[in-house]
Structure 1
Amino acid sequence: MRTLGNLVWFCFLGGFWSWLLWLVASALCFISIIGIPWGRACHNISELAGAPFGKEAINRRELTLKRDIGTSVFGTVGNLVWLLLIGIWIALAHTIAGVACCVTILGIPFGLQHFKLAGLAITPIGKAIISNEMAHAAREANAKSTLAQLRSDA
């Protein structure tokens, strides 16, 4: 079902254009050395934009349990700069496409994918694109770890 959804998404409901939009944004960011973190984030998101069914974006700190530059204060500052310069426009484009898809009942799953990409367009730095199953397993392992730590503190 994921494959069929991704095929319909890519060919008919904005997947190709979303993928292309994120790749162009990535290429523009890679032009300067300063833009490399944004270019890397855009390139990762282009993978999700091309085939969003069965994948999701997860915070890298939540996935690896380690802090890195993208999940630190520098990542937050980078996300704010991104939001003010480009992110708001990409988020707006995905929101409009999502509303247009949600006009019909059959388009609702595709509209939800546009909304997922719109949310990701606001804060792309510090995210990893993984399968839904891996994201669920990472969150479950984090919850168990946090619960064990809370129980040992009490």
Structure 2
Amino acid sequence: MRTLLNFLNFILGGFFTTLAWLLATLVSVILIITWPFTRSCWEITKYSLVPFGNTTVHVDILYPEDHNAVLSSGGTLLNLLWLVLFGWWLCLSHILTGIGQCLTLIGIPPGIAHFKLAAIALWPVGQRVVPVELAEELHINPDRRRYR
């Protein structure tokens, strides 16, 4: 079922949002000041391509033993810079794609996935894409992003 939903997402507009994330990834590689965004961009590019069967988890939850000083101290600043440079237009692309998909009955599940991606597009630094099974194993509710 996940494969079918991922294929449906790809056909109904997920391809274009994945290209937008890929463009953001390439721009973040080219510009030196945006290098800290590259990992998050790449992670969410994969998530945009295959949203069903995956979820995002913050690195602090995924790797509690590693304390990343950059994410602790500068993560908010990086996310604010991201919001200004890339986040708003990526969020808008996911919202428009989600609305377009929800106009069709069969596109509602991928449309909802794009609304989730729109929220992630605004604040992606520190997010990692993991299989839903791993998130459940870590006792994280993928829909609420909290511990159960």
| Same fold at TM > 0.5 | yes
TM range (shorter): 0.7 to 0.9
Match of 1:13 in 2: 12
In structure 1, what is the Cα distance between the partners aligned to 2:46 and 2:2? 15
Whether the 8 Å contact between 1:59 and 1:71 is mirrored in structure 2 is no
Match of 2:46 in 1: 47
In structure 1, what is the Cα distance between the partners aligned to 2:36 and 2:60? 16
Runs of 4+ residues deviating >3 angstroms = none
CA drift at 1:71: 3.2
Counterpart of 1:134 in structure 2: which amino acid? L
In structure 2, what is the Cα distance between the partners aligned to 1:57 and 1:49? 11
Identity %: 38
CA drift at 1:69: 4.2
CA drift at 1:25: 0.6
Match of 2:143 in 1: none
In structure 1, what is the Cα distance between the partners aligned to 2:47 and 2:118? 12
CA drift at 1:85: 2.0
CA drift at 1:73: 2.4
In structure 1, what is the Cα distance between the partners aligned to 2:50 and 2:4? 10
Counterparts in 2 of 1:58 and 1:69: CA distance versus 1, 3 Å: same
Structure 1 length normalisation: TM-score?
0.84
Structure 2 unaligned residues grouped into runs of 5+: 141-145
Match of 2:78 in 1: 78
In structure 1, what is the Cα distance between the partners aligned to 2:63 and 2:137? 12
Structure 1 unaligned residues grouped into runs of 5+: 145-154
Counterparts in 2 of 1:103 and 1:70: CA distance versus 1, 3 Å: farther
Q: How many residues align structurally?
A: 142
Whether the 8 Å contact between 1:91 and 1:117 is mirrored in structure 2 is yes
In structure 1, what is the Cα distance between the partners aligned to 2:70 and 2:49? 23
Whether the 8 Å contact between 1:94 and 1:115 is mirrored in structure 2 is yes
Counterparts in 2 of 1:127 and 1:107: CA distance versus 1, 3 Å: same
Counterpart of 2:41 in structure 1: which amino acid? C
Find the residue that maps to 1:129 and give its secondary structure.
strand
In structure 2, what is the Cα distance between the partners aligned to 1:143 and 1:132? 14
In structure 1, what is the Cα distance between the partners aligned to 2:59 and 2:26? 23
- 1:116-142 CA distance string (max 9 Å, x none): 1101101111011001111122135x9
Whether the 8 Å contact between 1:6 and 1:52 is mirrored in structure 2 is yes
- 1:14-49 CA distance string (max 9 Å, x none): 121111111111001111222111122111111101
Structure 2 length normalisation: TM-score?
0.88
